[in-house]
Amino acid sequence: MDGSPQGESSGSALRRQAGRIVGRLVAVVTTLFGLLALTFSMGRLLPADPVLAITGPEVSKAVYDRVFLELGLDQPVWVQFFSYVKNVLSGNLGVSAITGQPIIVDLLTVFPATVELAVTALIVGVGLGVPLGITAAVHRGKLIDHIARLIGLLGHSVPSFWLGLMALLLFYAQLHWVGASGRVEVYYEGLVTPITGFLLIDAAIEQQWDVFNSALNHIILPGALLGYYSVAYISRMTRSFMLEQLSQEYIVSARAKGLGSRQVIWRHAFRNIRVQLLTIVALTFGGLLDGAVLIETVFGWPGLGQYLTRGLQMNDMNVVMGSVLTIGIVFLIINLVSDFLYRILDPRTR
């Protein structure tokens, strides 16, 4: 057995790494258990009768009692909860009273549409927000800085549903630049075989370019509007991070050595805010998935947000619980991935 200081240091590092992994697993399991408890409580506390959601209001007492027993609602609450956890872990989220299909089947259909919209919005948000924030920080107090701050203010104050309606009125009804509701024109629906679930990718794979162009025409406006709200947040945070870095001594030293402005900004200051931006982008993506509800409703986008809205309107708690659980799991995955990338980009956290 190696008793050298190097061997002891290596063993200590392995133990610390194992401890971190175990701690992370415990945190994930605890968070998932809390999420399951939250969604279960939502289904029991909200004023919606799960039996009537399945049978409809015009039902005899005999049928009502039979469905009541089949759902296990006569059991103690703790028994119902662990039965719910067992079903969820086996992939059984119940059946939708709206579509008549298992919730998991509906989610596999609508969730890719929301992800496609959120990715488009994130591209807009990062592609415009990061350069705008950096430019505003470099030119602090000047016109571009005031414009960036105004964009951020409007992005946090203008209601998304109002902006969506105004954008439809202008770009669709008046200018005819974009498509109307949905992911694609009605006569193109069903022409592309779902492979990934992302219509743009599937249409490109199958070389259905007419469908691709129609899908792109329909996603541009809702994706840009949803992305605008992320531009406001990302640009504001980027500006704040850059201002902090530009005031550091190493930036003053770099400039004193004669380095150009581009090198100082991008090779030094920007490299030191990458990790912080990674966290912001990850949180933004999760927020886009959650915040797409109103945009999807305005644009008739057949995604998770519209599916959840219909579930709330129809008192279909299986739909509501399945949708909320999906969003929570996605947030959990995003946090895990961002934490992993955080450790890769910043050696100090390893």
Identify whether the C-beta of residue 331 lies closer than 8 Å to the C-beta of residue 287: no
CATH number of the domain within which 114 lies? 1.10.3720.10
Supply the pLDDT for residue 1.
46
- Same domain, yes or no: 85 and 140: no
For 216-229, what is the mean pLDDT?
90
Identify whether the C-beta of residue 309 lies closer than 8 Å to the C-beta of residue 318: no
Of 89, 115, 133, the domain-final residue? 89
User: Residue 329: inside a domain, yes or no?
Assistant: yes
Of 60, 89, 118, the domain-final residue? 89
- Same domain, yes or no: 75 and 146: no
User: Closest by alpha carbon to 279, among 192, 201, 196, 338?
Assistant: 338
User: Residue 95: inside a domain, yes or no?
Assistant: no
Of 89, 121, 153, the domain-final residue? 89
The tokens 């703790």 sit on which residue?
A: 78
For 65-71, what is the mean pLDDT?
76
- Same domain, yes or no: 60 and 176: no
- Which range is least confidently modeled, 39-53, 61-75, 115-129, 147-161? 39-53
User: Residue 301: inside a domain, yes or no?
Assistant: yes
Number of domains the chain contains:
2
User: Residue 96: inside a domain, yes or no?
Assistant: no
- Same domain, yes or no: 112 and 192: yes
User: Closest by alpha carbon to 121, among 285, 253, 244, 6?
Assistant: 285
For 143-147, what is the mean pLDDT?
87
- Same domain, yes or no: 41 and 119: no
Q: Report residue 289's pLDDT band, with 50, 70 and 90 as the boundaries.
A: confident
For 71-75, what is the mean pLDDT?
73
User: Residue 291: inside a domain, yes or no?
Assistant: yes
Computed from CA positions of residues 46, 51, 52, 55, in that sequence, does the dihedral angle turn out positive or negative? positive
Cα–Cα distance for residue pair 58/54, rounded to 1 Å: 11
- Which range is least confidently modeled, 60-64, 127-131, 305-309? 60-64
- Same domain, yes or no: 71 and 190: no
- Same domain, yes or no: 21 and 159: no
User: Residue 278: inside a domain, yes or no?
Assistant: yes
- Same domain, yes or no: 282 and 170: yes
Supply the pLDDT for residue 348.
59
- Same domain, yes or no: 17 and 71: yes
For 324-332, what is the mean pLDDT?
84
Domain containing residue 28: 5-89
User: Residue 97: inside a domain, yes or no?
Assistant: no
- Same domain, yes or no: 66 and 149: no
User: Residue 177: inside a domain, yes or no?
Assistant: yes
For 174-186, what is the mean pLDDT?
83
For 303-328, what is the mean pLDDT?
83
- Same domain, yes or no: 133 and 71: no
Supply the pLDDT for residue 9.
60
- Same domain, yes or no: 113 and 227: yes
**What percentage of the chain reaches a pLDDT higher than 90?**
10
- Which range is least confidently modeled, 11-15, 117-121, 276-280? 11-15
